[in-house]
Amino acid sequence: MDSALIPEGANRCSFPKFAVGIAIVGAVVLWGVYAMGLIWWKGLNQTNMNDYYGFALWIWADLAVIAVGGGAFFTGLLKYIFKVDELKNIINFAVIIGFICYSSALLILAIDIGQPLRGWFIFWHANVHSMLTEVAFCLSCYFAVLTIEFIPNILENRQANKVPFFHHLAHNMHGVMAVFAATGAFLSFFHQGSLGGVAGVMYGRPFAVREGLLIWPWTFFLFTWSAAAFGPCFTLLVTRITEAVTGKKLVKDNVVHLLSKISGWMIITYIIAKIIDTIYWATVTVPGLGFNISHFYSNNGFYGYWILVTEILVCGVIPGLILIMKSTRENPTLRLIAIVLGVIGVCLNRWVMVLQIMAIPVLSFDTWALYVPSWQEVATTVLPVAYGIILIAVTYRYLPVFPQEKELNRTKPVTE
Amino acid sequence: MFPFNFEWAWDIAHMVFFGGFWYAISILGAGLTFCILKAAYDTFKGGGESHH
């Protein structure tokens, strides 16, 4: 039915099977859209946020998708600026994942502001002293970069590429992609950093506040570093899931090994910096503000030292070590464990830096705020995941996303 | 956002913030415009297949 649109030589499932899959995931999207509509129509009273607890579950999701979407900017930086040519075989997919993550982040922000019709105020009436304004600027611009990086892949669709203008446009965009990738890296550095900076400058929240360099707290650099370190893990994880779902090998092992190795070294260097930062914060910053570290991990039913150990040791040191050692990195099972742990680790870090910060009491009469999200928050947080699955399914079906797919899945000639 | 907005001030914060913003927008706009114009030129010139 749609075979004319499918990349030449690629084998895809039948259209009815594809349509059923999209319809099932589409139902989840509709659930999320319904919840989003309720929030826009009735307001933020549909959430369990209040004056005491002002960050909904989706703010964690927002920071998490931005962190894992960092694979796009870092892979682009390696491919176009540092000329790591092997990565051309995964860059299209990294860009698509980045596009999904950043469009989801913008969607979440549109839900969070409660009054989406006033979304443009952040540009028109910008508060130039706010790190979040910088985040909004860089996020929007970087989404434009990702769209530009995605366009050539769309234009390479079998039918679109027959149109001479589209063919030339895709070719020319490839030619200047390094300029766009460099701009994207610049923008990513600042918005990833500023998201961390927001936590680091919260002087009223001893759990978050950090010393730093000039106007930038250490969390600024740690957030950028962690996104560059763990983002490629997410790219590799989604690639592995896509391979499992399609039953095909889509990227050669040498590319996966290379990206895993780079990610591993980034994780190890990041986690060393994070450990140093945590020790300095626990032994100097926190006592200096009149607190003891146990204050942040006790007297409540959820946040204990386990979360610190899980984030740094289980989901930081362990995946880093697995990925830097050749023998463990090239073992598919261990590599999968490492990239899953890495993705959990960076999401846990964003959870701690967004939700735990808000939960901890800071005044002597305060109590822990253990917040439970409403179903509308859950639905709007699941929405980007379902949307991402649909976009990946559609792009995989109709676009030449994986340059090595044909070579890796050649049908064996019949010998009889 | 623009110097003609009532809250605009010619201070360092506005210059750094909006300088970076317009710088990034200009690069993206110029790059995209170049690609579109060159694609139109290549199409009308009717040159052979280009490869990438």
Enumerate the residues of chain A whose CB falls inside 8 A of the CB of residue B18: 126, 128
Interchain pair B31, A167: CB under 8 A = no
pLDDT, position A403? 93
What is the chain A residue with the closest CA to B52?
A171
DSSP SS3 for A321:
helix
Indicate the pTM of the whole model: 0.93
Q: Where are the domains of chain A?
A: 49-371
Cα-based distances in Å from A83 to A80, A229, A250, A263:
5, 18, 22, 17
Whether A154 and chain B come into contact, CB under 8 Å, resolves to no
pLDDT tens, position by position, A55-75 = 778 889 999 999 999 999 999
Residues B45, B51: Cα–Cα separation, whole Å: 16
Compute the average pLDDT of residues A245-261: 95
Q: Quote the percentage of chain A above a pLDDT of 70.
A: 99
Q: What are phi and psi of A114, to 5 degrees?
A: 75, -35
| A49-57 CB contacts, 8 Å cutoff, 24+ apart | A49/A371, A52/A369, A53/A358, A53/A359, A53/A369, A53/A371, A54/A358, A55/A354, A55/A355, A55/A358, A56/A112, A56/A373, A56/A377, A57/A355, A57/A373, A57/A377, A57/A378, A57/A381
Which pLDDT does position A412 carry in this prediction? 58
Q: Is B17 on the interface with A (CB under 8 A)?
A: yes
Q: Does A134 touch chain B (CB under 8 A)?
A: yes
Tokens of A342: 């890495």
DSSP state of A310: I
| pLDDT band at residue B47 under the 50/70/90 scheme | low
How far apart, in whole angstroms, are the C-alpha atoms of residue A397 and residue A12?
7
Closest CA to A224 of A266, A178, A265: A266
Tell me what the mean pLDDT of segment A232-255 comes to. 96
The pLDDT of residue B13: 86
**Which residue, among A170, A405, A182, A159, has the nearest Cα to B52 in the 3D structure?**
A170
pLDDT per residue as tens digits for the range A13-24 = 999 999 999 999
Q: Which residues pair with A212 in a beta bridge?
A: A217
Question: How many alpha carbons fall within 13 Å on the CB side of residue A87?
Answer: 26
Using one digit for the tens of pLDDT, what is the confidence trace for A304-325?
Answer: 999 999 999 999 999 999 999 9
Spelled out in words, what is the top-level CATH class assigned to the domain A49-371? mainly alpha
pLDDT tens, A101-160?
A: 999 999 998 888 877 888 888 888 888 888 888 888 888 999 999 999 999 999 999 999
